[in-house]
Structure 1
Amino acid sequence: MRTLAVGAAAGLAAALALSPAPASADHEGTPTVRELLERCGESTDLCEFHPSGAPEYFQNTSEPVGSPVYNCTDHEQLSMVEWSKTTGESNSVNLSMTATFGVVFKQSFTLSYGHEWSSSHTQSQRTQVTAQPGEVARVYYGPRMQRVHGTYELHFPDREWGHYIWYAPFTAEGPADDQGSTITQSTRQMTDEERSVYCG
C-alpha cells in the first residue's frame, strides 16, 4: 500500500507539472493587455470578464457648455444658455468597446450588477445665467460617472506567448445610470480684448 501511495503522489505531481500554467499580462516580456483583448473572441476558446468589487461612482470634472454670455450693457443681464453635452465611455487600453471584448464586458456587467452598462449619456438643457455689467457668464456641467475594475480570462487553443491561459487587468469608465449631475455657472470680468471684440 505504501508503494501505491507513493506512485499515486508521483503521478499527481507529474500531471500538475504538465498542466498549462496561466500567466498575467502585467509583467515585462509579456504581451500587452491591448494585444490580448484584440484577440478576445477572435482566436480564443474562452474570453470572459470577471469584475472586481462593486462599481465606483464619482463626479466627473465640470467643463464649460454652451456659449459664453457677454454683458456689454450698464445693467444686470439675464440670459438663457441652451446647451447639450454627450458623455461617452473610456477604458484602460483605449480600444473601442464595440469590439468583441467590449460586448463580453457589457454582458458580464449586466450579469454581475443587474443592470446594463451605459455607453453614453446626453444631457440637454436651457440654463439661466446672470451677468453684471462688464462680466462674462458661463455654464459648467459635470456628469456622474461609474468606474469598474476587473480581469479578463483568455484561453487559447495553442500556446500564445508560451501559455494557453492569460489574465489581463482592465478598467472601464462610463456615465452612471443615476445622473446626479452637477450644473453650475460662474462669472468673471471681461478682458480688454473681449470687450473690444464683443462690445465694439
Structure 2
Amino acid sequence: MSRIRTSRTRSAVLLAALVTVGGMALAAPAQAEETPTNRELLDKCDNGTDSCVFHPEGAPTDTVGESHQVGDSAYNCTQDLQRSSIAWADTTGETNSLGVSLSAEYGFSEVFKVSVETSYGHTWESSHTETDTTNVDVRPGEVGWVTRAPQMQRVKGTYELHFEDKFYGHYIWYVPFDATGPKPDAPSTKTQHTRPMTDQEKAEHCG
C-alpha cells in the first residue's frame, strides 16, 4: 500500500511541476511602456498643451551649404575668348531634425520662429531666393558655368511641453530639435568654372 501511495505522490508532484512550467511558458511577456514620437509631441504644441516653449542652446552656428551649379552652361564654339553673362535664380530651403518644413502652419513652427527672433534679434528664414548675373570668361573650345554655396545657420535646442492632463503618462515632455536654414542678409559664395568641352559636347553645341 505504501508503494502505491508513494507512486501516486510522485505523480502528483511531477504533474504540478509540469503545470507550473507550462504556465510560465504560456505567460504573456511584459509589454514596454508606449512613448510618443517627437513629431507626435510637437504636433501638440499650442494644440493641446498648457504651454510650449523652445529653449535655444547657445548662439547659432554658421555653416556653408553645398556648392552646386546655378544657371545654364556657356559653350564657346568660336576661336576667340568669350565673356558670357549667366543669369540665374536659386532657392535655398531649410532642413530640421523632424524632416518637415517650418514654413508650414504648425504650432511648434511658430514657437520656434518667435524664440529665434527673441533670442537672437533676427527672423528665421525657411526659404530664401537669390538672383544674379555672373560673368564667365570662356576660352575657345571650353564650357563655363557658375556654382553657388549659400551661407547657412544652424540652431538647436529643446522644446518643453506642459500638458494639463497626462500625455502618455507624463505632464511634461522634452523634445530635442535642431534646424538649419539660410542665413538672413548673408551673401553666398559664387565661383566661375571652365573646362575643355568633351567630344560629345562639341558635337551637340558646336556641330
TM bucket, shorter chain: 0.7 to 0.9
> Which aligned segments of 4 or more residues in structure 1 are displaced greater than 3 angstroms?
none
Q: Which amino acid aligns with 1:194?
A: E
Confirm or deny that 1:180 pairs with 2:198.
Answer: no
Q: Is the 8 A contact 2:34 2:168 kept in 1?
A: no
Match of 1:91 among 76, 80, 96: 96
State, as a whole percentage, how many aligned pairs show the same letter: 54
Alignment of 1:1-200 (within 5 A): 30-97=35-102, 98=104, 99-200=106-207
Q: Which has the larger radius of gyration?
A: 2
Matched residue of 1:73: which SS? coil
Inter-partner Cα distance in structure 1 for 2:126 and 2:149: 16
5+ unaligned residues in a row in structure 1: which ranges?
A: 1-27
Q: Is the 8 A contact 1:34 1:95 kept in 2?
A: no
Q: Is the 8 A contact 1:56 1:146 kept in 2?
A: yes
Aligned residues: 173
Q: How big is each residue's C-alpha offset from its partner over 1:7-61, in whole Å with a ceiling of 9 and x where there is no partner?
A: xxxxxxxxxxxxxxxxxxxxx9632211211221111111110000000011212
| Per-residue deviation, 1:77 | 1.2
Inter-partner Cα distance in structure 2 for 1:170 and 1:86: 24
Q: Which amino acid aligns with 1:35?
A: E
Q: How big is each residue's C-alpha offset from its partner over 1:137-193, in whole Å with a ceiling of 9 and x where there is no partner?
A: 010111111100100011122222221111000001111124132010111121222
Matched residue of 2:132: which SS? strand
Q: Is the 8 A contact 2:145 2:192 kept in 1?
A: yes
Q: Which amino acid aligns with 1:30?
A: T
Matched residue of 2:99: which SS? coil
| Per-residue deviation, 1:118 | 2.2
> What is the CA RMSD across the aligned residues, in angstroms?
1.5
Inter-partner Cα distance in structure 1 for 2:185 and 2:59: 15
Matched residue of 2:40: which SS? helix
Matched residue of 1:34: which SS? helix
Matched residue of 1:194: which SS? helix
Inter-partner Cα distance in structure 1 for 2:206 and 2:98: 47
